[in-house]
Structure 1
Amino acid sequence: MKGADGVTNRVPGAYYSGVRTTLLLLLLIGPGSLRATAQPTTGVVVEEGTGVPVTGAMVLLFDSDGSRVDQALTDPVGRFMLDTGRPGPHTITVERIGYASFTSDPFTPAAGAEEMRIEVPVEAIQLSDIVVSGNRGCQVRPEGAAAGRVWEEARKALAAEAWTREAELYRYTLLRYEMRLDRDAREVLADTSMLMPDQRAAFTSAPIEDLVAEGFVQNEGDSMSVYYAPDAEALLSGEFLDSHCLAAVDGGDGTVGLAFQPTASRRVPEIAGVVWLDGETAELQRIQFGYVGLMDSPEVGYPPGEVTFTRLPDGAWIVKEWWIRMPSFAEASRGEILRIGHRMVGGTTAAVTDAAGRTVLDARSASIFGVVADSAGTGPPPGPVVVAREVIGSATIGVTTSADGSFLLNRLPAWTHILRVPSPALREMGLAEPEVSVEGNLGQVAYVRMKIPTVADALAFSCGGAPRPVGTAPVMGRVEHVGGTPAGGARVEVQWLGETEYAGPLVAAPIGPGGETGSGWAIGLDGSSVTASTTTDHRGLFLLCDVPYGARLRVAVKPATGEEPVIDRTLFVPPDASAVVETFILSSLHDKLTSKDYISTPNP
């Protein structure tokens, strides 16, 4: 990046107009590149234990010498393709922001080999704990200490951004602005802006070799000083790491910073600043920096700059807005300088489009990128599915996913959007599909992961939303007349031993397509047992939430009139069940029981 206190009229390349400025981009992750090669290595990255695909992870292929052969980002369903190049043993390393990296055992790529399945442990990295327990001050190329571990998370993001920019996966519309400020930088004296569409990159920078040799503020001509800042390649370079020390700092507001400053041996204008990350997720938020090693005068000070970031559909982070403020001078008596004002230059990423021409980000609206998995949540759906979006005051709007289950909703207003995957099967049972609330913010892309809903998902939604307490399952009953007509108004009594420590049902019936939830449960004690009673609604359904595994429930179903139960049965909740569902069929005379029941599998 560079900015100058003199202005030209050139606008070449990705970003030069008057004052030329390039800033660090962090974690610009594009869609997984599935390049066709002569002998590709293909695979899928999933979380260990759950099988959930990992989206937007960097997959790196190394040969037996430890040299990187190829790299790519996983796509929305966790898949990747790498060019193995030459034969021989290879290893794969998977890097995720906020999680520990994983390296595979050595393998030898072969033509026609089966797709690799890489299960990565879910080991979250808490940066805030690292800073508190392991800060050792500013160090050059720190390893193992707090700064080294924070740098490792920042490095993952920088590497992903550099690869994505090189692949030119996106096109940018940039709004560049320039302001003249008064001496105290409080009043705007002049303001101009320029819209720059169809740019290949948000920013470019000078070679790090030149910046290390000449400094980050350089003279061009007799009266122009040019201010530079590094891009991803610069910060990743050995030259930068050898000439700057790093330190972990606590932001005090849930953020963790990686402070950088030039080493004492530097004798040219330099930069110092902090890369701020979220302490819980390790996601990039902003960079604050300033120029040091300039003329030792209060008239110069430490010219500041800042950049903020936002997320792209696939989990990437790009520059949302940036600025640099540089002093302007006039010559005073005795050769001294006098600050007469400031020049502030900056830019905003107004829009980003992908290779398909879709606007994935617009500064004037919100976007939602999502992925719909199959009913198990471990792979793509069997085919394109529809995602419904509820719109206040109007009809539901639907969008069809791609074959991999991904979808994009753009040009949205800034409010809470309700999404669901419609299921005719659930609606036929009288159950509402689970809903997901997504907050839409202007100039940002929200990410959501959904799945084709099952009965267990619908019941979990009715019980308050997933995930439910570990070691429990919902129990739903459906009371019918012969022929399948729901038995509305039937009385249901459920009894269990108090020693099971089951607190009792939360809702009387699952949420229906129209929002109905039943009439409620009445709880009572009968010696050492707990009794809950309710009346079925027009759907004939009742529901008990979060019943512990191993519990036994005695269920008595009575007709609308009469005290003797016509159905009296004990249900058992087996370990690892995702839901227990049973249908009670009342005979026309209410004098005998015909029941059809089933215990659901982990994914009914």
Structure 2
Amino acid sequence: MPYIHCMRRLLFFVFIGLLLALAIGSGSLRAQTVQGVRGSVAEEGSGRPVGGAFVTVVDAAGERIAGGLTSNDGTFLIDVPRPGDFRVRADRIGFQRIDGVRVTIPPGRLVEVELQAPAQAIVIEGVQVESGRRCDLRPESGRQTALLWDEARKALEIALWTDGGGNFVYDAESWVRRYDERGRQLVSERVDRRTHVGRHAFRALSPEQLADEGFVQGTLEEGRSYYAPDAAVLLSDAFLGTHCFQVVDDEGRLGLAFEPVPGRDQPEVEGTLWFAEGTARLDRLEYGYLNVEEAVDDRFGGEVQFEALPGGAWIVREWEIRMPVMAAQRGAFGPARLRVDAVEAAGGRVIEVRDATEPRPIGSWDDDEGWVRGTVVDSTTGRPLEGAVVFISGTNRSARTDDFGDFELSGVPEGAYTLLVDHPRIGELGIVSPTVPVEVDPGEVVTARLELPSIRGLVADACGRVGGAAPDPTAAALAGVVRTGGAEPGELTVRVSWTQVERVSSAGIGSAETQADIVPDRLGRWGVCRIPVDTTVRVEVIRGEVTGEPVIVGRMEAGESRWLLVESPATESSGD
């Protein structure tokens, strides 16, 4: 079956352009400059130098003409491309903006400037979620929304400014992973690790083109291209003029959610800029797609993780974009239809950043993440489960078990997670995935063991959930799952019956029919755990007035447990 790829190029390079041009700050003052400004930023009151502040030179229209970061001693030197009247101002993550001063820069001259930085930090823990969306980010349109946007803007502007740098060496790992149509089971993976120097050539589409044509372009038949918002897009008038923002709270973590203005029918993005808990530091961007028929659920979209380097520079440290892979599906009648056949994820992460002039690392994240290693066992057979996919809930991280049921998940960020398993055996049993909670610490290895429950355990658990008696070692036990055929489990009845031979008198032998009717639980589980031995057992599923084909189990022995999948009838009644 030919695939129709929804990606003509690896669009995660949208983010690499932002990532690879890392900021180097002001560094040492150059001996000669044609024209510009130089000076210092000091804290009000104490006079302490402020390093890592982003100093910008803006014209009368408020457009940034030039910019740079202050060094550790608070000094800066900024080239300005043309003479004229400007305002010099500075931003400091987590603090109020430094209003700055007006200057006139003569041709070929340097102007001295001293800026005073407010010492009081911005506190966002007390920010309240406002009702309604704000489609205008000026302070008077929504104070809390404007406050959070201003903090996000600072980090994005610094990251965008770094795009013009390039004096860093970095080690980066990129990947392309293909998952099944559910986006859970890893099918294939390509990983590439390289060392790069300087500016990267890849860039996003212009914000104006994305606003006009949308974030998903092309046709399903010929192939789609999926794009994501980078710093330039998020800061652009084209994006801000077509999206509304709102402060959101996720268990104490504040975010700035955005969505397109009402009435836009282009393929769009919605998402949230999340802040580190209790701080005004931008942490990550999460986004998904709108107005795209094949990519509107949570399988598709992406994440971008931001990181501040020593000295005030900002980079994108990790990124991923997830897209559908379409395939033609032919039915018995009519033309072939396109459906989602797989989920493709392209992304990468920075492992280490170094100054090009010095070998020392500026940032390293090899030890900032941990590993999860373990084994998956099928307790119904007592053997390791080969080819199972172990994944971390809420992410697309996964690993496949080897011949011994062993797996390893590397590069897992610090945090608490839940491990789950996917394997055909789970579908055969009709059970939910076993889960194990894990706590990952930086640089540490966590071991975990996941087990498919034993048949005896499954049967005993099912009997307990539907109110049946516990298994008796002198009797047999039978339980399982009913495939509902679209019905609610509570609408069905599983009838388990058996015929038991009885001695009615000294002159003859008779038999007695016994049955148990069970309403399955919400997962379709049913069970009868005290069936007399040496009886012929029959199982039927009743839906309304229709009884399905019986399943003959046969004779069972004392202490025996069996697990059985049964089917519901297709309809409730056969009609008149």
Q: Same fold (TM over 0.5)?
A: yes
Contact (CA 8 Å) 1:69, 1:83: kept in 2 or not?
no
Letter in 2 for 1:251: D
Equivalent residue number for residue 181 of structure 1: 179
Equivalent residue number for residue 47 of structure 2: 51
The answer to whether the aligner puts 1:126 opposite 2:129 as a matched pair is no
Equivalent residue pairs, number: 357
Alpha-carbon distance in 2 for matches of 1:220, 1:296: 11
User: What is the correspondence of 1:117-156 to structure 2 with a 5 Å cutoff?
Assistant: 117-132=114-129, 135-144=130-139, 145=142, 146-156=144-154
Alpha-carbon distance in 2 for matches of 1:113, 1:327: 54
TM-score (norm 2): 0.56
The answer to whether the aligner puts 1:313 opposite 2:320 as a matched pair is no
Structure 2 residue aligned with 1:288, among 274, 286, 289? 286
Equivalent residue number for residue 434 of structure 1: none
Contact (CA 8 Å) 2:175, 2:190: kept in 1 or not?
yes
Contact (CA 8 Å) 2:36, 2:109: kept in 1 or not?
no
Contact (CA 8 Å) 2:25, 2:312: kept in 1 or not?
no
Contact (CA 8 Å) 1:303, 1:325: kept in 2 or not?
yes
User: What is the correspondence of 1:192-231 to structure 2 with a 5 Å cutoff?
Assistant: 192-198=190-196, 200-201=198-199, 204-219=203-218, 222-231=221-230
User: What is the correspondence of 1:426-575 to structure 2 with a 5 Å cutoff?
Assistant: none
Alpha-carbon distance in 1 for matches of 2:148, 2:93: 11
Contact (CA 8 Å) 1:28, 1:160: kept in 2 or not?
no
Q: Which runs of 5+ in 2 are unaligned?
A: 370-412, 414-440, 445-576
1:88–1:231 distance in 2 versus 1, CA, 3 Å: closer
Alpha-carbon distance in 2 for matches of 1:365, 1:273: 30
Q: What's the secondary structure of 1:97's corresponding residue?
A: coil
The answer to whether the aligner puts 1:328 opposite 2:328 as a matched pair is no
Letter in 2 for 1:143: R
Equivalent residue number for residue 22 of structure 1: 14
Contact (CA 8 Å) 1:40, 1:83: kept in 2 or not?
yes
Contact (CA 8 Å) 2:172, 2:194: kept in 1 or not?
yes
1:195–1:114 distance in 2 versus 1, CA, 3 Å: closer
Contact (CA 8 Å) 1:5, 1:326: kept in 2 or not?
no
The answer to whether the aligner puts 1:343 opposite 2:344 as a matched pair is yes
Q: What's the secondary structure of 1:158's corresponding residue?
A: helix
Cα deviation, 1:22-44, whole Å, max 9, x if unaligned, reads: 23959965322645423442211
Q: What's the secondary structure of 1:212's corresponding residue?
A: helix
Letter in 1 for 2:24: G
Alpha-carbon distance in 1 for matches of 2:111, 2:210: 47
1:64–1:292 distance in 2 versus 1, CA, 3 Å: closer
The answer to whether the aligner puts 1:31 opposite 2:25 as a matched pair is yes
Cα deviation, 1:300-344, whole Å, max 9, x if unaligned, reads: 666131122333221333222222222223233355433332112
Deviation of residue 182 (structure 1)? 1.6
Equivalent residue number for residue 97 of structure 2: 101
Contact (CA 8 Å) 1:176, 1:348: kept in 2 or not?
yes
Deviation of residue 109 (structure 1)? 5.3
Cα deviation, 1:386-425, whole Å, max 9, x if unaligned, reads: xxxxxxxxxxxxxxxxxxxxxxxxxxxx9xxxxxxxxxxx
Q: What's the secondary structure of 1:137's corresponding residue?
A: coil
Deviation of residue 357 (structure 1)? 4.4
Q: What's the secondary structure of 2:160's corresponding residue?
A: helix
1:195–1:221 distance in 2 versus 1, CA, 3 Å: farther
1:38–1:279 distance in 2 versus 1, CA, 3 Å: same
Alpha-carbon distance in 2 for matches of 1:207, 1:69: 19
Equivalent residue number for residue 240 of structure 2: 241
Contact (CA 8 Å) 1:147, 1:258: kept in 2 or not?
yes
Alpha-carbon distance in 2 for matches of 1:42, 1:121: 20
The answer to whether the aligner puts 1:303 opposite 2:300 as a matched pair is yes
Equivalent residue number for residue 364 of structure 1: 366
Deviation of residue 156 (structure 1)? 1.1
Deviation of residue 284 (structure 1)? 1.5
Cα deviation, 1:467-504, whole Å, max 9, x if unaligned, reads: xxxxxxxxxxxxxxxxxxxxxxxxxxxxxxxxxxxxxx
Alpha-carbon distance in 2 for matches of 1:188, 1:366: 24
Equivalent residue number for residue 60 of structure 1: 56
1:315–1:354 distance in 2 versus 1, CA, 3 Å: same
Deviation of residue 274 (structure 1)? 0.3
Cα deviation, 1:1-20, whole Å, max 9, x if unaligned, reads: xxx94576xxxxxxx6x555
Letter in 2 for 1:239: A
**Overall identity of the aligned pairs, in %:** 32
Contact (CA 8 Å) 2:36, 2:110: kept in 1 or not?
no
Contact (CA 8 Å) 1:176, 1:195: kept in 2 or not?
yes
Contact (CA 8 Å) 1:128, 1:250: kept in 2 or not?
no
Cα deviation, 1:477-536, whole Å, max 9, x if unaligned, reads: xxxxxxxxxxxxxxxxxxxxxxxxxxxxxxxxxxxxxxxxxxxxxxxxxxxxxxxxxxxx
Cα deviation, 1:569-595, whole Å, max 9, x if unaligned, reads: xxxxxxxxxxxxxxxxxxxxxxxxxxx
Q: What's the secondary structure of 1:106's corresponding residue?
A: strand
Alpha-carbon distance in 2 for matches of 1:301, 1:353: 36
Alpha-carbon distance in 1 for matches of 2:136, 2:24: 29
Q: What's the secondary structure of 1:272's corresponding residue?
A: strand
Alpha-carbon distance in 1 for matches of 2:50, 2:190: 44
Cα deviation, 1:29-84, whole Å, max 9, x if unaligned, reads: 53226454234422111111122211111112245665544321111211111235
Q: What's the secondary structure of 2:241's corresponding residue?
A: helix
Contact (CA 8 Å) 2:179, 2:187: kept in 1 or not?
yes
Alpha-carbon distance in 1 for matches of 2:131, 2:63: 31
1:114–1:137 distance in 2 versus 1, CA, 3 Å: same
Contact (CA 8 Å) 1:28, 1:318: kept in 2 or not?
yes
Alpha-carbon distance in 1 for matches of 2:81, 2:176: 48
Alpha-carbon distance in 2 for matches of 1:76, 1:62: 23
